Chains A and B, each alone.
Chain A
Amino acid sequence: MKKRIVTLFLTLLMLLSLSAVAFAYSEGGMPLVTDAAGLLTEDENAALNELADELSAEYACEIIVVTVDSLDGWNVEEFTEAVYQQYGFGCGAEKDGVILLLSMEARDYDMAAYGYGNVAFTDYGKDALMDGVLPYLRENDWYGAFHEFIISCGSYLASARAGNPIDYYYTPAPPITPGKIILAVIIGLITALIVSGVQKGKMKSAILQTRADRYMKELNLEQREDNFLRKETHRVKRQTSSSSGGSRSGGGTTVRSSGFSHHSGKF
């Protein structure tokens, strides 16, 4: 079955490639932007291919976009891997590349990296990059989404080639939220009150004494009783870390045995 679908897909792509001779092609002979689902106009397709080709060449790492109508029951990540390998995507001996695949049937997406792509697009990097692309996808702004994807991939590759792959530690500062402002104001207010209090305290030194510890001897404790009354136990189910959705933490890239790393979901 797998072979059948891939063959079907191959035919689809061959047809497409024939109709788009002016497009940029991968080293494996495929256009970098392959819109099998027919989401883009011809002009858009041409413009995106040109952009992808230019940036891919500049950073020696292919930036690929593929759209299909259906996964035919495949898992989106396996499908992406199959497409990448079957059509010879990737640059150089290591087949360096990054791919965004959309399947329109169930609105699945997968961003996968291979070879040098795994260095440039860390788990966090993919997550952050897709945060910028997904809003366009949700609006069905296909050109906007792919343009954003290709441009972002270019800047991630630029960072990586400069020796600083975008990762947890290199993220730009998130915007200042109203919650943070309120927190900062409260901390500022409390600190100011404490400092004023201490300074005012320094100005007042004539204070009545409340204790006479200096003049006392040892405490003579005649009776000392500590009686246990009762015990109460409360059990609360723990929040597991996976349910809290903390996928943004940590650095580096999780690469599978297949050599791919993925970031997939629905749009």
Chain B
Amino acid sequence: MADQITNYQCPSCTGPLQFDPATGKLVCEYCGSAYSVEEIEQLYAKKDEQAAQNSAAAAGSPAPEGSPWSEAEAAGLKAYNCPSCGAELIFDATTAATSCPYCGNPTIVPGELSGALRPEWVIPFKLTKDEAIAALKKHYKKKPLLPKMFSNQNHLEEIKGVYAPFWLFDGDAAGDAKYDAKKVRHWTSGSYDVTETSYFECFRRGSLQFQRIPVDSSTKMPDEHMDAIEPYDYAEMKPFSTAYLPGYMAEKYDVSADDAEARAQKRAEQSLLDAMKGTVEGYSSVSVASQDVSFLRSGLHYALLPVWLLNTNWKGKSYLFSVNGQTGKLVGDLPIDKKRKWGWFFGVFFGVTAVVLAIAALL
């Protein structure tokens, strides 16, 4: 366990550096200097190494008897000192980057993202905080069932940019399936209507290669949200560096790859089944008689992908929205106004019924 944490300081003025999604550089809030990720990486390479060594040393030594934090540690909490202001910080076990609540400086726990835990890839934030908030405002539009006061009265309780840990699975799905298919033809012969039904049995065996199916590996991130904000553009994926993290929170995984694999497997298998069924063409109807597919993992990658999490509160209930930090895609469930729901239901019902009756009366 790391007992030292880092924050990236401006080489010119020692002010805290923040990652700027617009320029892709680390910018000093105080003197305005900007540095590329590579420059900062080189500068801090030594410091990172030092931290890793310390972390390894600390992991070997048992916790001292009667330590004041043993209880907290048992509950999955860890204590550090902020390198900027010296305040004591308490993180939970999976936090790898955050901000100091006292001085506001971005802080990284290198031990949580190094060695075996070091992510292979990172997609840097491209979407700014303001753009994420704008995406939420846009999300409220064209929603007839949204309570009228929701968008005005609810207030943004918390907004945080999080590098969410994902497992990316490579693998192959393979299998076979049997289908019952029918071809139906109609024609008239003399004074008879003739219907001819031809029955077929179809068989398909095939395989599909998959690359980097993402499965979020943090229990803090709701699975539905992380699935729904896909896709990420992997072309912009960069080799991991902690220099992308300042200014954001970062989580480390707490769902093992083996546990997460089931979700990737299910999706890959369904894709194969659908693709094979798609090749049963030229029939009037096709039904699946039997199917047998399996997924074999061939590669595994660990990546941090950017997510804006927006927490809002309305009438004592909190609503969570997630925004893809790269593409701006926003997801999140909204409350439904019951009066509006029934208003629409009966409005449409009576309206359509009246129109159909009017048409029926004319025919």
Binds A, one of B109-117, B123-131, B196-204, B249-257: B196-204
Closest to B357 in A: A184
Task: Give the Cβ gap from B45 to chain A, nearest Cβ, in Å.
Answer: 34
A75 to B148, CA, bound (A): 77
Task: Give the Cβ gap from A229 to chain B, nearest Cβ, in Å.
Answer: 4
Task: Give the Cβ gap from A140 to chain B, nearest Cβ, in Å.
Answer: 33
Chain B interface size, under 10 / 10 to 19 / 20 to 34 / 35 or more:
35 or more
**Residues of chain B lying within 8 A (CB to CB) of residue A200:** 145, 336, 341
A221 x B206 contact (CB < 8 A): yes
Closest to A221 in B: B206
Interface residues of A in 96-138 (CB under 8 A from B): none
A184 to B359, CA, bound (A): 9
> Is there a chain B Cβ closer than 8 Å to A139's Cβ?
no
> Is there a chain B Cβ closer than 8 Å to A3's Cβ?
no
Task: Return the CB mask of A165-202 against B: 1 if under 8 Å, else 0.
Answer: 00000000111100011011101110111011001101
**Residues of chain A lying within 8 A (CB to CB) of residue B225:** 206
**Residues of chain A lying within 8 A (CB to CB) of residue B348:** 188, 191-192, 195-196
Return the contact of A180 from the options B195, B198, B332, B360 (Cβ within 8 A).
B360
Task: Give the Cβ gap from B318 to chain A, nearest Cβ, in Å.
Answer: 14
> Is there a chain B Cβ closer than 8 Å to A21's Cβ?
no
B204 x A211 contact (CB < 8 A): no
A220 to B225, CA, bound (A): 32
Binds A, one of B25-33, B91-99, B159-167, B274-282: B274-282
**Residues of chain A lying within 8 A (CB to CB) of residue B222:** 206
Q: Give the secondary structure class of B's interface.
A: mixed
> Is there a chain B Cβ closer than 8 Å to A43's Cβ?
no
A180 to B355, CA, bound (A): 12
Q: Give the secondary structure class of A's interface.
A: mixed
A233 to B306, CA, bound (A): 61
A205 x B208 contact (CB < 8 A): no
Binds A, one of B36-44, B62-70, B210-218: B210-218
Binds B, one of A56-64, A77-85, A235-243, A257-265: A235-243
Interface residues of B in 197-247 (CB under 8 A from A): 197-214, 222-225, 227-228, 230-231
A215 to B268, CA, bound (A): 9
A192 x B349 contact (CB < 8 A): yes
A236 to B190, CA, bound (A): 11
Question: Given A223-B203, A233-B195 in contact, is the A196-B341 Cβ separation under 8 Å?
Answer: yes
> Is there a chain B Cβ closer than 8 Å to A4's Cβ?
no
**Residues of chain B lying within 8 A (CB to CB) of residue A216:** 208-211, 268, 271, 275
A192 x B204 contact (CB < 8 A): no
> Is there a chain A Cβ closer than 8 Å to B356's Cβ?
yes
A224 x B207 contact (CB < 8 A): no
B200 x A191 contact (CB < 8 A): no
**Residues of chain A lying within 8 A (CB to CB) of residue B227:** 207-209
Closest 4 CB pairs of A and B: A188-B353, A212-B267, A192-B349, A223-B205
